[in-house]
């Protein structure tokens, strides 16, 4: 309860607690990926019955974007099952998709794998708003999940994106067999980026038959709530996205995540290849909770440097944070009691 109180307090210092950013995730090229990410059904080496497709055409993507906008989304995130972006006709086609969606007055995000500095700048020139490149887990646990790409490769791509004017979206997945220390390590890595990511998706593993993680048990909702709350505290100005795994969460569980600091979701019945709640269900939930979809290009409290983000706590100083009958805890005392993030 102390964690929820702390997270909700930090959330309200930096965000409108009743506004949630809504994105639609669109798989523009599905399956056939050469990577071996243990959680991913799009890896060519796994037998997951995923129906692959070549790169979508621009008109088809535009039609999907218009449907997403009509349903309340402010952002379209296009994902391609590539290890890295290759210059050529397909990349030119993606650039045209970005230009097309941008003209619809919608934010455009891409997740296309590893990216060079020049490719990031070209995407920026086309009007890209955000680039997603998840760290997935801690650096220590990373090699147990993926062997075809190094943790440092992911950091390099994020650095290339930062050299353009495109915002960074980077998060990870819990429920892959990692220890609590690994969840903490992932958050430390994300929070240590300068500046911190503008958006951090927190995903619960969706176990898919045919992948190495097919037999993983779904994580309890309380672990998801704890992860969202901790993310909010260590990255107070970032938008925290409640991402994969929502089909297994009750409305009450999702409401607790919103209370703890989540202020972004993916809408639509599919996240690339895994199920997601129907958009009408989400809008009903928003109405029930008094939540409003965020308008596109809304200027939120932007993440600064790590040093500036840490200073967000200073106005609270040594004022009592929690009180109980006959007992008061100051901020420093509470920090000592809480220990590290893994606890």
- Report if residue 343 sits inside a domain: no
How far is Cα 343 from Cα 184, in angstroms, rounded to an integer?
Answer: 9
Q: What's the pTM value of the predicted model, to 2 decimals?
A: 0.83
Q: Look at 1-5, 28-32, 315-319 and tell me which has the smallest mean pLDDT.
A: 315-319
Per the DSSP assignment, residues forming a β-bridge with 75 are 23, 107
In a domain, 247, yes or no: yes
Q: Is 62 part of any domain?
A: yes
Range with lowest mean pLDDT among 236-240, 294-298, 318-322: 318-322
Residues contacting residue 69 through CB under 8 Å, at least 6 positions apart: 104, 106
Answer yes or no: is 182 within a domain.
yes
Q: Supply the CATH number for residue 230's domain.
A: 3.20.20.70
Verify whether residue 110 is a known catalytic residue.
no
Average pLDDT, the chain: 83
Q: How confident is the model at residue 329 (pLDDT cuts 50, 70, 90)?
A: very low
Whose CA is closest to 209, among 39, 93, 324, 65?
A: 39
Domain hosting 317: range is 2-338
Does 67 participate in catalysis according to the annotation? no
Distance CA 280, CA 126 (A): 32
DSSP conformation class of 49? -
Query: Is residue 169 among the annotated active site residues?
Result: yes
257 is catalytic: no
Exactly one of 154, 169, 232, 257 is catalytic; which is it? Answer: 169
pLDDT per residue as tens digits for the range 281-307: 888 899 999 999 888 888 665 444 444
Burial of residue 217 (CB within 10 Å: 0-12, 13-18, 19+) is: exposed
33 catalytic per annotation: yes
How many distinct structural domains can be found in the chain?
Answer: 1
| Residue 268, in any domain of the structure | yes
196 within domain boundaries: yes
CA angle 147, 46, 189 (to 5 degrees): 35
- Per-residue buried b or exposed e for 161-193, using 16+ beta carbons within 10 Å of the residue's own CB: bbebebbbbbbbbbbbebeebbbbbbbbbbbeb
Q: Does residue 117 fall inside a structural domain?
A: yes
Catalytic, out of 109, 162, 246, 257: 109
CA–CA separation, 187 and 18 (whole Å): 25
pLDDT value of residue 15: 94
Q: Residue 35: what pLDDT?
A: 82
């Amino acid at each position: 309860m102390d964690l929820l109180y702390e997270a909700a307090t930090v959330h309200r210092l930096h965000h409108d607690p009743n506004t949630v950013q809504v994105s639609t995730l669109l798989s523009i090229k599905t399956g056939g990926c050469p990577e071996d990410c243990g959680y991913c059904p799009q890896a060519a080496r796994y037998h997951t019955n995923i129906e692959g497709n070549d790169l979508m055409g621009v008109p088809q993507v535009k039609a999907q974007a218009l449907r997403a906008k009509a349903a309340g989304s402010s952002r379209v995130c296009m994902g391609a099952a590539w290890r890295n972006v290759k210059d050529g006709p397909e990349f030119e086609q993606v650039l045209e998709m970005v230009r097309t969606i941008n003209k619809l007055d919608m934010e455009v995000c891409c997740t296309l794998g590893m990216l060079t500095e020049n490719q990031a700048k070209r995407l920026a020139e086309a009007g890209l708003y955000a680039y997603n490149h998840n760290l997935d887990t801690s650096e220590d646990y990373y090699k147990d999940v993926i062997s075809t790409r190094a943790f440092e490769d992911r950091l390099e791509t994020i650095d290339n994106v930062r050299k353009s004017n495109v915002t960074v979206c980077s998060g990870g997945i819990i429920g892959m067999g990692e220890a609590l220390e690994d969840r903490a390590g992932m958050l430390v890595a994300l929070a240590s980026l300068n500046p911190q990511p503008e958006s951090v998706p927190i995903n619960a593993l969706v176990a898919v038959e045919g992948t190495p993680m097919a037999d993983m048990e779904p994580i309890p909702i309380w672990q998801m709530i704890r992860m969202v709350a901790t993310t909010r505290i260590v990255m107070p100005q970032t938008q925290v996205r409640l991402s994969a795994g929502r089909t297994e969460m009750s409305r009450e569980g999702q409401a607790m995540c919103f209370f703890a600091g989540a202020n972004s979701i993916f809408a639509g019945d599919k996240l690339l290849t895994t199920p997601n709640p129907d958009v009408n269900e989400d809008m009903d939930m928003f109405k029930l909770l008094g939540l409003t979809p965020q308008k596109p290009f809304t200027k939120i409290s932007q993440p600064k440097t790590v040093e500036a983000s840490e200073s967000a706590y200073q106005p609270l100083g040594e004022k009592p944070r929690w009180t109980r009958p006959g007992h008061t805890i100051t901020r420093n005392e509470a920090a000592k009691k809480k220990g590290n993030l893994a606890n």
